[in-house]
Amino acid sequence: MRFCHFLNFRAEHEPTPAERAAVSSLLAATPGVMQALLHTPAVAHDPYLNDGRAPSLVIQSYFGDIQALEAAFAAGGPLQGLLDLLPSQTNAEATQEAMAVRRYMVPDPVFQVVDGAPHCSYLVAYAGPAADLNAWLTHYIGHHPPIMAKFPGIRQIEISSRIDWMGALPVPRYAHMQRNKVVFDSPEALTTALNSPARHELRQDFHEFPAYEGGNTHYPMRTWNVARGR
């Protein structure tokens, strides 16, 4: 199992290419980072949902164990300077959280991208709480991933659940009950998937969820893979 740190920004502007490059270099040089992704807003059509303006930036940093994640974000750790590299996000509403990540098999995980274009992720979050978290997770994880895998063109499925963790990054914390990510080659491929029979099947399963509060959000995002394999 991997562990992931999410750093979420809501600003008027997306980060500049120079900012993305600086953040990418820092993440790639950070010990323990197995993979890092930068997400910025994209446009896709979901027949059931439109949650409005997406975050201006979401940074996902993956680690192989909780100790590596905590070391990276500790006081004096290598990622304490991350915010300084993002002047466009200085006045943003920002939150952070760390989660345990489950990944699921898909029929064809090979991306079909042209000229280094970013791929497209659908970032989903459930705030919670659930009346019975174990029952909620058991239903969701038992039912939703097999249906998600039916999406045409799907390349990756992740489901992340909250954990307790230590860190000193000066950003307010949030603790979603669960976050999901489904990944496609492009916003067009995501739109095709969201208008397929699998999307309607997921909606039917949504109505079978055990009771929970807090609602949910769904945002299409362009995704850059900026660090891999340390």
Quick one: pLDDT at residue 227?
78
- Which of 74, 66, 67, 85 is CA-nearest to residue 28? 85
Give me the helix-helix angle, 133-148 and 197-206, nearest 10°.
Answer: 170
- How far is it, in rounded angstroms, from Cα 188 to Cα 65? 35
- Judge contact between 23 and 96, C-beta under 8 A: no
pLDDT tens sequence across 15-41: 999 999 999 999 999 999 999 999 999
pTM here?
A: 0.96
The neighbouring-strand residues paired with 222 are 40, 120
- Domain extent for 69: 2-228
Percent of the chain at pLDDT exceeding 70: 98
Quick one: pLDDT at residue 230?
41
Which CATH number goes with the domain that contains 39? Answer: 3.30.70.100
- Which of 40, 123, 36, 118 is CA-nearest to residue 79? 36
Six-digit token string for 50 = 């439109």
Mean confidence (pLDDT) of the chain: 95
- Judge contact between 37 and 57, C-beta under 8 A: no
Quick one: pLDDT at residue 48?
95
Q: Which residues of the chain have pLDDT under 70?
A: 114-116, 229-230
- How far is it, in rounded angstroms, from Cα 15 to Cα 20? 6
How many domains would you assign to the chain? Answer: 1
